[in-house]
Structure 1
């Protein structure tokens, strides 16, 4: 098994841990306040339960839009200065969120948090791509994501614990403190990974050429759209989790545990992927996972239609579905980046924008369809699986499994 290429002065394990920590800033930004959504709704007079989902959705809109900016900046000025400035901005946005006096003010602060955290996605991918590619990049990202997926497992429980010591606003102060920790780590330990000789001046001509390549290469655009659809399934689950577990199934006392079970499935999938991807290839793993996701979704829809849905049947199908999505995530990202690695910063921006905004649209469509049953989520996952499989079929020239298994 090959090691993870790391920047000069960093041990490979520290490098993977750092990449995971950078990614975790965004994950905490999404998941830490889930147990507090009801308290926020009550305190800020949010009348409709589905409107609480906007606390997650608006953040993701900022997260998607901001990525278009950071790639060109990172390709021009390097990864490190962009990461330093945006982490500091995230700290400031967290303080604004904690002091919000209205729902509108909170949404504005959440949008700013998303805009700042967008750099974490772009730069995590670009920093890893600076030193590796292909299966090796997929393996490094899988190990980082395995650590990163511990955040959704722990975040709701941590959020619940924080609520025992203070109001929901305390959660946002903790978010800012974690971002400050990653900022300090960056300042003290992380060197620049993009040498001056590979930096690209910011110009309309260069941006147009980079955007054109990223958007016209069928692997880049195809697997970016595929990633957006599967990511949309995650957004839908996260947005609906509090309503489904607490309101529909009355499992408020077990919410954090049940949420962790589903999130743990994604972590296990990333660990499995990190062990298998260099042996089996990204295409074999993702195509198999998609077929399983489709079969699971059909079975889940049938269970709901028959009136057999229970809390535990939902957890069963959701955990297995998240496992399939977990097997797709890092691999789709690595496959999308393969042909555009020489413009990794800008390409990561464009691909991240596509995957994030697409995920918001998909996740919101599923989430806002919620009417007290798990039917929209099950049907949504089925549509996601079928659509992504069709995209993969087109990208791979009309072949599945017989395609180049890389």
Structure 2
């Protein structure tokens, strides 16, 4: 039975596709020490299983987006899920650390192919405030995965080996695959499909990258994500290292902050259903994020940071990201319905590149020995750049008024 795009089940399916990277990363964290213990050449290098996954994830969307514009969303998702399940299953059987890294790269590419599709599907089916509402709902579903995935990985490790974590990932992908095969209908009509010739592909990317609204809103979204990712990559060093809290308390704080994305997307969906313009929502979310990270920086600069003072500001930053992200995503894709797959793929690629850059900056300054201050500096820089591109877009729209839309 095919799912109706307006149904909750359809939104849940798109959210599950979007959650594949979180499942692949967060769920595997508890198994890294055991993995390093099994492979002698993996000692101290277990984090490479995350790095290789992210590398594959960053590369795939820019290729798979145009493929979906040519052959459709459904076959692209099906092939991506098959590859993801196969790669994860083989990770569970990996005979060496080197083979595991190659398989993680392939798993990341498959996840990138799948994650590109939900935004393109929304752009195929919905317009205006309905599209923004649907993206907010998907983000709400996506917000659940960082809460559940680490706990699921810890639960698996309590009675099995790290290999079962990857077997579980493969099983989850197969469940989603069955749901796609049985319930997901193609959303891209034949008349809107684009040829996949190299010259045509270059022309598509030239057109997408030449759209200033797409670039500005994508960078608003991606730099906001990068600011949030600076916290994610430093959270254990700050909460467990600087504040001296236990791993259990860390997991609770991390879950509460992750809940901010889901709560923010719920608020965004509430305003979108009431046809509040995206500019009004972004004005508030951008200002709230910037004020929160500046306040966090001042606390850290004057050595006043504690868990009770710093973490509420982090929560506000993440919550504001959840409010703004569905709107900046919708506005980026709005002018490109004929190339939604390529545009969505490029957006995901830029998002991951800037997220990786944010993480690398935090790591580069780690030897200074003040992880909270380093984190806050990177967060301020990323949010300031997000604000710069948002102001640039507002100025562009004042010069070239866009057609009225919800």
**TM, length-normalised to structure 1:** 0.90
Corresponding residue for residue 291 of structure 1 = 287
Q: 1:39 to 1:311 in 2, by over 3 A?
A: farther
CA distance in 1, matches of 2:256, 2:136: 19
What RMSD, in angstroms, separates the aligned Cα atoms of the two structures?
2.4
Q: Does 1:381 align with 2:379?
A: yes
Q: Does 1:267 align with 2:265?
A: no
Corresponding residue for residue 182 of structure 1 = 176
CA distance in 1, matches of 2:221, 2:25: 18
CA displacement at 1:60 relative to structure 2: 1.9
Q: Does 1:96 align with 2:96?
A: no
Q: How does 1:2-401 map to 2 (within 5 A)?
A: 9=4, 12-44=7-39, 53-248=47-242, 249-277=244-272, 278-371=274-367, 372=369, 373-397=371-395
Secondary structure of residue in 2 paired with 1:339: coil
Q: What do the CA deviations read for 1:371-403 (whole angstroms, capped 9, x no partner)?
A: 452222111111111111111111221789xx9
Unaligned runs of 5+ in 2: none
CA displacement at 1:42 relative to structure 2: 4.7
Q: What do the CA deviations read for 1:215-254 (whole angstroms, capped 9, x no partner)?
A: 0111111111222212223433333334443444342122
CA distance in 2, matches of 1:235, 1:57: 14
**TM, length-normalised to structure 2:** 0.90
Which stretch shows the higher mean deviation, 211-220 or 341-350?
341-350
Contact 2:3 2:10 survives alignment (8 Å): no
CA displacement at 1:361 relative to structure 2: 1.9
CA displacement at 1:266 relative to structure 2: 0.9
Secondary structure of residue in 1 paired with 2:126: coil
Aligned residues: 396
